Amino acid sequence: MNRVTPEMIQSHAGQRRKMVDEQLVQRGVKDLRVLEAMSRVPRHLFAQDSLLHRAYGDTPLPIGENQTISQPYIVGAMTAALGLKGEEKVLEIGTGSGYQTAVVAELARQVFTIERLNNLSRKAQKVLEGLNYMNIVFKMFDGTYGWPDQAPFDAILITASAKEIPESLIKQLGEGGKLVAPTGDTDNQKLVVLTKNGGRISRCELGACKFVPLIGRYGWSAT
């Protein structure tokens, strides 16, 4: 993608504000930094051309390869749960379209993002580079291994669901850090937050959700 012009972004500013007000604020997302970031990031640039008219709708969108962009509320709720202040090093498992990557990159010092599907990783990198994000590092690999040589991370975001959060990823969470992920089977999933304090892990649930499966060595099998 060529460098994105301000005009390309501004043309959908009203739709973004409406999305934030109606889909996030009214459902309880209160983190002002998250709301502002999602008012800036051009979601339509991460959607397939045939779905541009639905880019700011209250729904997930297919992006090919049996993957999706999560609905805006889920992106906002997961990002807000990380409690980012601006200096964090974040690990994202599942780059997908790159939309959530962009939102997190607006809020953290650096984002390390892993995608197992080469086609999606390349597309996302192209869009994100077009938007001039300089604090994102990309990797094409099995995300269930994490990124051990860059650990520990201040926050970890997993954008696909496994029965249990892989221990390999929990180990890479730094002291005081938060990990946000969906867990469960195909029909019954919950969004959970793990927090590491004093080397101990506490867990809370944010509510029901629906994600594609986390495929990999420590997730679901691809077959």
CA angle in degrees (0–180, nearest 5) for 12-14-19: 95
Domains defined for the chain, CATH in brackets: 6-209 (3.40.50.150)
Q: Which of 70, 97, 121, 161 is catalytic?
A: 70
Q: For the segment 41-98, what is each residue's pLDDT rounded down to a tens digit?
A: 999 999 998 999 999 999 999 999 989 999 999 999 999 999 999 999 999 999 999 9
Q: Please report the pLDDT score of residue 4 as a whole number.
A: 65
Q: What does the mean pLDDT of the chain come to?
A: 93
Q: For the segment 187-199, what is each residue's pLDDT rounded down to a tens digit?
A: 889 999 999 999 8
Q: Are 142 and 120 within 8 A, CB to CB?
A: no
pLDDT mean over 136-144: 97
**Whole-structure pTM value:** 0.94
- Which sign, positive or negative, has the C-alpha torsion 163, 166, 169, 173? positive
The confidence band for 223, taking pLDDT boundaries of 50, 70 and 90, is low
The answer to whether residue 70 is catalytic is yes
